Amino acid sequence: MTTVAEKDLQAQLAGKDFLTLLDYSKEELLYLLKSAIEIKAKHKQGIVYQPLKGKVLGLIFEKSSTRTRVSFEAGIYQLGGTGLFLSSKDIQLGRGEPISDTAKVLSSYLDGIMIRTFAQSDVEELAENATIPVINGLTDLYHPCQVLADLQTIEEAKGKLAGLKIAYIGDGNNMAHSLMIGAAKMGMHFSTAAPAGYLPDESIVAKAKKIAEGTEITITTDPVKAIKDADVIYTDVWASMGQESEQKEREKLFANYQVNANLVQHAKADYLFMHCLPAHRGEEVTADIIDGDHSVVFQEAENRLHAQKALMVALMG
Q: Is 144 annotated as a binding residue?
A: yes
User: Both ends of the chain: CA-CA distance in Å?
Assistant: 18
The catalytic residue among 143, 177, 189, 250 is: 143
Distance CA 18, CA 145 (A): 9
Query: Does the annotation flag 116 for ligand binding?
Result: yes
β-pairing verdict for 134-138 and 112-116: parallel
The answer to whether residues 117 and 139 touch, using CB atoms and an 8 Å cutoff, is yes
Among candidate residues 177, 250, 275, 304, the one labeled active-site is 304
> Any known ligand binding at 68?
yes
- Angle, alpha carbons 268-279-145 (nearest 5°): 80
Question: Is residue 3 part of an annotated ligand binding site?
Answer: no
Q: Examine the residue annotation and report whether 306 is marked as an active-site residue of this protein.
A: no
Active-site annotation holds for 10: no
Task: Clarify whether 276 is annotated catalytic.
Answer: yes
Q: Was 65 annotated as part of a binding site?
A: yes
Distance CA 259, CA 226 (A): 12
DSSP 92: G
Spot the catalytic one: 17, 111, 231, 236.
236
Residue 240 annotated as binding? yes
Strand partners, 84: 58
Question: Is 277 marked as a binding-site residue?
Answer: yes
Q: Is 67 annotated as a binding residue?
A: yes
The reply to whether 92 sits in an annotated binding site is yes
Among 189, 276, 306, 308, the active-site one is 276
Torsion of CA 95, 97, 100, 106, to 10 degrees: -80
Is residue 304 part of the annotated active site? The answer reads yes
Number of residues written out for the chain: 317
Catalytic residue among 78, 146, 152, 258: 146
Select which of 78, 111, 116, 258 is catalytic.
116
Q: Is 136 annotated as a binding residue?
A: no
The values of phi and psi at residue 158, to 5°, are -105, -15
User: Is there a binding annotation on residue 276?
Assistant: yes
| Catalytic residue ranges | 116, 143, 146, 236, 276, 304
Annotated binding site for carbamoyl phosphate: 65-68, 92, 116, 143-146, 276-277, 304
Annotated binding site for L-ornithine: 174, 236, 240-241
Annotated binding site: 65-68, 92, 116, 143-146, 174, 236, 240-241, 276-277, 304
